[in-house]
Amino acid sequence: MNSAADGIAADILGVVGIAIGTAALLFALMHGLRKAGVDLPRWLLPAGIGAAMILYSVWNDYAWYGRMVDRLPAEAEVLVSGQTSFPWAPWSYVVPVTVRYATLDRGSITTGADGVRSAQITLIERRGKGYMIRQDFDCAGERMRLPQGEWQVAAPDDPAFAAVCKGG
């Protein structure tokens, strides 16, 4: 699993790359327009770079979940995703950003002699550490437990229980 630092470093590198590329493009465009006799204000260069960096950051936050799901193996199934809003991104109160999700590896489902099924659940969080846990499911008793945990009655709408015990 990637660490949070890897994700943040990649985000920073992406923003820096966008800034450099935008600076080069805008500089060349503004230079060409000046040669053609069109005099543009000098503040357009830093304003354009800043706008490109903000737009890239917004796109990157919203596109992260889709990119991650596209990279999942065929036997993986997304069980649930979590969205949130950020005070520094007021638009996220209108359209929340997906920042975490859980997947089930269908190929990892095993059934023990006692009829208890076990499956690997992967928890992924943007800019956070990912975790793989093995979860047990007593389908007949309609209960489940985390590793080293106590059996608990499965909620009627629990996506992991439904995927493992009811086939999805």
How many domains are there within the chain?
2
Per-residue pLDDT of the chain (168 residues; tens, 9 = 90+): 455 556 788 889 999 999 999 999 999 999 999 999 999 999 999 999 999 999 999 999 999 999 999 999 999 999 999 999 999 899 999 999 999 999 999 999 999 989 899 999 999 999 888 899 999 999 999 999 988 889 999 998 999 999 999 875
The answer to whether residues 81 and 39 belong to one domain is no
Q: Among residues 25, 41, 70, which one ends one of the domains? A: 70
Residue 82 structural domain: 76-165
Q: pTM for this one?
A: 0.80
Nearest Cα to Cα of residue 64 among 126, 130, 131, 13:
126
CA 111, 113, 116, 121 dihedral sign is negative
The answer to whether residues 84 and 160 belong to one domain is yes
